[in-house]
Structure 1
């Protein structure tokens, strides 16, 4: 199947626009529903209002996401829309729309940003479209975009940092210093939402090291076959530039973003508040006694413990349920894509080593190394640090990792559609439509639609695995 024709490229571009439009609609539709706090809105919406009312408080996370929600409240209160549902749960009278719309807006930006990153890696509009399509068909990203929570900001800024880092190296001979500074600011902003934003920066460090090591190997062998890609062009960035733009700048950004909070809350000071946050999370235990939805890191990819954000029976045998869970079929296939990517890396790396990067390898598509390498490194950087964490964790901590797994699935489906094998093409198309069908099936508990008891049971993953509820 030839996906590189001009007409197909234009079709993929139109598809991206449609995906973006649908993402906006799904995130903003009925945003003011449920005139109560949903899950951790009890913290983040209230903290955001505290900034607007100059109310002192302690926050167990860095403040950026609450700043953004506060800005959303200030703007939302002055908009002519979304004022039909109000409450004073934050400590002041606000519409539910006002403290949720900023999440919806930022969440709508993730699919096109994923498309941009996928395109930087593969230089294919079809791959960009599929990556954006798949992330738009995930339930957890949709839910996190519809309520005043902080994970969507963390992911967006980390993703933006990765995108800008690759964009800065689009030229084979030099890098764009200004864009790399933007990447550093974005990484710092991600950490300023939650400390686990450091995982996006960790992935960048590892990839730069790999690129530099590979460049050194190729220089010794007088070959430049593999490094002619944006990923391996990261080797062009001098160490001093890496230190300034990706160490000093994120740290400076993180420090500066604390200033508004510290002006309002001078005690504890900047250093002490970092220790207070660390000690707070160190003291959180694990297990169902701490929270009924605690989920260890190894349960996340298989969706073994999704998380109820909101649940109420509004009439006999009919419920409103917002269940924080990914699209099961998408997450399973994305996990398979990670294992497939690891196999591709091992196979092609061995091929290069075995042939000493000589003539037979010149026909190897560079994306067959750079794309899976980028995916696997960032997936591991966002997942493996949780292995040693002993506090209660939740499935939303997997968002940073699964994002890259979904991108990897998009790339592999694109590869299958380009195959000369009708079987692989059919497998790719089946994957797309199956994931879309699964999304529609689980959509009622992503949007919190009215659902009958038996229909709800068939959609709750806990019920399928453990016969709970």
Structure 2
């Protein structure tokens, strides 16, 4: 049966999974301790984590889970020291840079695995799974966020893990999968509040599944037949089939495991922070710190005066304003070490195009243009899953007045990569040679772009001309 993960045997599929994971692992841990200083928001998160060990009170601008994890990494890094020669006291105590970065690197290396697991649970297609994993592994934004003590990679990790567990529950109906899924989705929101968008995506898909039958009752027999013909793909799976699986989560199970458990999880995660910051060590203190956090973000302005790398949500779709995390010029030749929090440009642009293509099929109902004899259609249920999760991770930013940054696009970007992988698989599976050529051309361009921009992902030295050639637009600098 195709309702579970394949057995782990040495096959081209499992070999590909292991190879992509090892590549992701190596490139994240390579020279991890470089730049023996606090890079970008490490001045907050690494220092906050250190404050737990030092017993210092502090006000977090986000929920505390990522601070706990970085603090845990610091503690283990002290027990098992690595790169002891690369140390500083910028966090308030003498620590190696490796100690507060290694857990981020390990967590980031699992992102291709998690998004690949989601692709497999949705499609049961090995090629889609490998394409999804490979594309994520060749991205720059996920790579940069994994190499420093920042919090965004934890948000994506718990969000994708939670969704994968819920999708797994829809296949196997094991209660533990749903329970852990609810806990993990709450953890995403316990890193940053926008992490609750992953939980909102689950809520919307569940609600659509339960509401849709009421609308179906009003259709005529002919309308239902036409809809069925439109949505079927080569595997016989359709949009209604995908949605019907959500009905195994009854309203009672939903209320307990996807509402009550996340609320409890989020509340419990705050307890250590409240106890270590005595003025908040009460129920009233819990609510007070929620209000103060909300008020803090409302006070943040939105202009270049606030931060030179502020960027509105719509600019993320084309990466109009990536962020320079680190810049250093040294040596007699003026070599530049630069770390740019930017996506693989080719991958991002094609992923945005893939989302536009899938959105077009939903809005104008032109799914049949993909379902000819020469090119197979993606599953409409999967299209719905991608669209919903992309929307809930992007559209809420329309109403945000504070300064926002390109890295806020990271969760939505993951689902756009999944959309691109789905389309590339249909092109590679097509009997038309021209479709195969298009897919291989896109994959080749993505790989070339990754290696071309790798120096600004890893902070490798570049000549001024080499750096300028990689900054294609003035707004990138």
TM-score (norm 1): 0.90
- Partners in 2 of 1:444 and 1:100 — Cα distance? 19
Q: Does 1:341 align with 2:358?
A: yes
Measure how far apart 1:217 and its partner are.
5.1
Q: Note the residue ranges of structure 2 that are not aligned, 5 or more in a row.
A: 1-6, 229-236
Q: 1:112 corresponds to which residue?
A: 113
Q: 1:36 corresponds to which residue?
A: 37
Q: How does 1:368-383 map to 2 (within 5 A)?
A: 368-383=379-394
Q: How does 1:28-427 map to 2 (within 5 A)?
A: 28-171=29-172, 175-216=173-214, 226=238, 229=241, 232-268=244-280, 269-315=285-331, 316-346=333-363, 367-427=378-438
- My pick for the range that moved more, 384-393 or 217-226, is 217-226
Q: 2:22 corresponds to which residue?
A: 21
Distance change (3 Å), C-alpha of 1:349 and 1:212? farther
- Partners in 2 of 1:337 and 1:186 — Cα distance? 28
Distance change (3 Å), C-alpha of 1:231 and 1:27? farther
Measure how far apart 1:214 and its partner are.
3.4
- My pick for the range that moved more, 223-232 or 132-141, is 223-232
Runs of 4+ in 1 over 6 A off after TM superposition: 219-225
Distance change (3 Å), C-alpha of 1:219 and 1:17? farther
Q: Does 1:439 align with 2:450?
A: yes
- Partners in 2 of 1:349 and 1:214 — Cα distance? 20
- Partners in 2 of 1:423 and 1:366 — Cα distance? 17
Distance change (3 Å), C-alpha of 1:275 and 1:467? closer
- Partners in 2 of 1:61 and 1:239 — Cα distance? 31
- My pick for the range that moved more, 335-344 or 277-286, is 335-344
TM-score (norm 2): 0.89
Q: Residue 324 of structure 2 aligns to a residue in which SS? A: strand
Does the CA contact (< 8 Å) of 1:87 and 1:95 recur in 2?
yes
- Partners in 2 of 1:293 and 1:161 — Cα distance? 31
- Partners in 2 of 1:467 and 1:95 — Cα distance? 34
Measure how far apart 1:350 and its partner are.
7.8
Q: Does 1:465 align with 2:473?
A: yes
Does the CA contact (< 8 Å) of 1:227 and 1:233 recur in 2?
no
Count residues with an aligned counterpart: 446
Measure how far apart 1:83 and its partner are.
1.8
Per-residue CA deviation, residues 240-296 of structure 1 (Å, 9 max, x unaligned), is 211211111111110000010011013231000000100000000001010000001
Does the CA contact (< 8 Å) of 1:291 and 1:392 recur in 2?
yes
Root-mean-square deviation (Å): 2.3
Q: 2:231 corresponds to which residue?
A: none
- Partners in 2 of 1:286 and 1:126 — Cα distance? 43
Q: Residue 320 of structure 2 aligns to a residue in which SS? A: coil
- Partners in 1 of 2:156 and 2:412 — Cα distance? 10
- Partners in 2 of 1:287 and 1:56 — Cα distance? 30
- Partners in 1 of 2:289 and 2:52 — Cα distance? 17
- Partners in 1 of 2:136 and 2:124 — Cα distance? 19
Does the CA contact (< 8 Å) of 1:13 and 1:129 recur in 2?
no
Measure how far apart 1:468 and its partner are.
7.2
Q: Residue 326 of structure 2 aligns to a residue in which SS? A: strand
Per-residue CA deviation, residues 39-61 of structure 1 (Å, 9 max, x unaligned), is 00000000001111211111110
